Amino acid sequence: MYLVKTTSFVKRFSPLALWGIRPGEKKIFLTFDDGPIPEVTPWVLDRLDEFDAKATFFCVGENIHKHPEVFNDVIERGHGVGSHTYNHLNGWETDNLEYLLNVKKAAQMSHSVLFRPPYGKLKPKQAQFLHKHYQIVMWDVLSGDFDQNISKEQVYKNVVNNAVDGSIIVFHDSLKAKERMEYALPRVLEYFSEKGFSFAAIQENEAYSPALVPQYA
């Protein structure tokens, strides 16, 4: 069970997180979780290049370690990066200290203060601590490309029917989402480009950027 369009009620549970970017410039903020992997991420980069689009990749630290050349390609093509924990941990199911150290390990690899919790799940104490050192980035629209029970056409509709100026949209550069994402992404890029939108990466200075590597007590 998940919401495609994040409601204001849900946002009140994580008031310190970034849920969208100030509207007014006709910009969409595409984000990709769970990579980088050679089977999917380069394809995403090529499609983004076709539309002169920039995006933000929330990378699993373990995948950066396994595929540094793919991670470096993301950087070299001008996209933003953030961390997504080192082992794709669920904050609700993980001891606080273990979780925070895992986030730190991933952040040291991504060299970014942008952080997105896997599944969007953080305990209140985890969120409070992390906010002191990172910008927690959530989303406005969840494409649902990870959902094997919906069609690739529905993934496309989820985005175009719900995204607005300043929306942060979640896709996944993962094997699980590959088929649905590869159908929806180019169509989303075309749809919003035709309506005069541009696609930008989330900048750290738009959010919050204290010390990159905190020291845990």
What are the domain boundaries of the chain? Answer: 8-202
Confidence (pLDDT) at 16: 82
Give the rounded distance of the alpha carbon of 7 from its chain centre.
18
CATH of 8-202, one of 1.10.3720.10, 3.40.50.300, 3.60.150.10, 3.20.20.370: 3.20.20.370
Task: List the one residue out of 206, 115, 210 whose CA is nearest residue 166.
Answer: 206
Q: DSSP characters for 148-167? A: TTS-HHHHHHHHHTT--TTB
Buried b (16+ CB within 10 A) or exposed e, 43-73: ebbebbeebebbbbbbbbbbbbeebeebbeb
* CA 129/CA 45 separation, integer angstroms: 33
Task: Write out residues in the chain with pLDDT < 70, as ranges.
Answer: 205-217
Mean predicted lDDT score pLDDT of the chain = 93
Confidence (pLDDT) at 157: 98
Buried b (16+ CB within 10 A) or exposed e, 89-120: bebeebeeeebbebbbbbbebbebbbbbbbeb
Task: List the one residue out of 192, 170, 191 whose CA is nearest residue 181.
Answer: 170
Global confidence as pTM: 0.92
Residue pair 83/50 in contact by the 8 Å Cβ criterion:
no
3 state SS of 43: helix
Task: Read off the pLDDT of residues 46-82 as tens digits, 9 standing for 90 and up.
Answer: 999 999 999 999 999 999 999 999 999 999 999 999 9
Confidence (pLDDT) at 27: 97
